[in-house]
């Protein structure tokens, strides 16, 4: 962490069946295919012909046909939105299947042509695991695809996909850095953000000056903000030198600029803010700003199981890491 050489102490999180982020895979450039034309001395037996393998990205990511699924569930699994949002679009007549207006409760299968607001979408069925990314967001990026000011956004830094889209789990302010989770599953993103799961959000905060005992107690006991009361679940010293002091705080909600506004409520100014944990996932210490890690399939399965979601088998071939 910049401007602080001390290791910040970890705080416990209340979250379902934590998925370790230590074995996440770093996205790196594809390695060129190695030639296999080297010959050894002496005669060799001729290898039996083998079935050709599609080396293209499209071939590696093809889905295995599965059983029919409810339309709203397939759309949510594809990252179009939450199940509730998809049901609302279906009820409004804004989705059609194979040229006909869809109805609530309709099922779809691989090969069906589904359009949302007139645009063809590629469905991801639950026989394929969703993808989950850890992105170390730097300051100066916005977590939105639609910005009237045309500022840099996080989605341009993510791996490109031929189907579906990345869904951000919550947001970080333009001037806030740190852990941002993204997934291809709208349903998983919705559960990670839902208040009933009480997932901890943990931050490293740099303050100009020290926090008095009185201010600390007010922040832990609750301060009144414009949109209601707010309080930290934990508050720890994390070192620092000179005028800048670091603290580690956590809370169980994610309102707009909530951490900054809480400190402002007790007369303190946040000079730097960095999210270091979201629920069961912590920001890896060796992940630099602007870099991406993808959770391994085993970690994604544990994450799904922690939210009582269906845990499909990972039937896709292992995916080579790609440069973002």
Told to judge if 173 belongs to the known catalytic residues of this protein, a careful annotator would answer: yes
9 and 238 Cβ atoms separated by less than 8 Å = yes
Q: Which of 173, 227, 308, 315 is flagged as catalytic?
A: 173
Using CA atoms, how far residue 68 sits from 74, 124, 126, 140, 309, in Å, is 9, 12, 10, 43, 18
139 has a pLDDT exceeding 80: yes
Distance (Å, whole) CA 250 – CA 259: 9
Mean pLDDT for the chain? Answer: 78
**For 157-208, what is each residue's pLDDT tens digit?**
899 877 678 999 989 999 999 999 999 888 899 899 988 898 999 999 999 8
pLDDT band at 314 (very low <50, low <70, confident <90, very high): very low
Domains of the chain, with CATH numbers? 66-121 (3.10.290.10), 129-306 (3.30.2350.10)
DSSP string of 192-206, one letter each residue: HH-GGG---EEEEEE
CB atoms within 10 A of CB 125: 20
Q: For residue 288, what pLDDT is reported?
A: 96
Q: Which pTM was predicted?
A: 0.64
């Amino acid at each position: 962490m910049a401007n602080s050489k001390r290791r910040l102490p970890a705080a416990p999180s209340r979250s379902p069946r934590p998925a370790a982020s230590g074995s996440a895979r770093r996205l790196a450039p594809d390695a060129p295919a190695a030639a296999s034309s080297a010959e050894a001395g002496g005669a060799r037996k001729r290898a039996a012909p083998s079935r050709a393998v599609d080396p293209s990205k499209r071939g590696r990511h093809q889905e295995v046909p599965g059983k029919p699924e409810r339309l709203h569930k397939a759309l949510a699994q594809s990252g179009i939105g939450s199940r509730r949002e998809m049901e609302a679009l279906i009820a409004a007549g804004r989705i059609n299947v194979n040229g006909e207006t869809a109805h609530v409760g309709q099922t779809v299968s691989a090969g069906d042509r589904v359009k949302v607001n007139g645009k063809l979408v590629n469905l991801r069925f639950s026989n394929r695991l969703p993808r989950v990314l850890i992105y170390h967001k730097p300051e100066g990026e916005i977590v939105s695809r639609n910005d009237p000011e045309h500022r840099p956004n996080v989605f341009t830094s993510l791996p490109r996909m031929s189907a579906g889209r990345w869904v951000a789990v919550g947001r970080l302010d333009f001037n806030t850095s740190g852990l941002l989770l993204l997934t291809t599953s709208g349903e998983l993103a919705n559960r990670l953000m839902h208040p009933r799961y009480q997932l901890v959000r943990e931050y490293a905060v740099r303050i100009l000056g020290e926090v008095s005992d009185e201010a600390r107690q007010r922040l832990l006991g609750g301060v009144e903000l414009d949109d209601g009361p707010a309080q930290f679940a934990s508050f720890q010293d994390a070192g620092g030198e000179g005028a800048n002091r670091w603290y580690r705080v956590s809370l169980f909600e994610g309102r707009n600029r909530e951490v900054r506004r809480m400190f402002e409520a007790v007369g303190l100014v946040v000079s730097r803010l960095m999210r270091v944990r979201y629920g069961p996932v912590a920001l890896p210490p060796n992940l630099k700003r602007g870099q991406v890690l993808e959770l391994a399939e085993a970690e994604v399965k544990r994450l799904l199981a922690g939210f009582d979601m269906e845990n499909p088998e990972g039937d896709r071939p292992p995916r080579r890491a790609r440069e973002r």
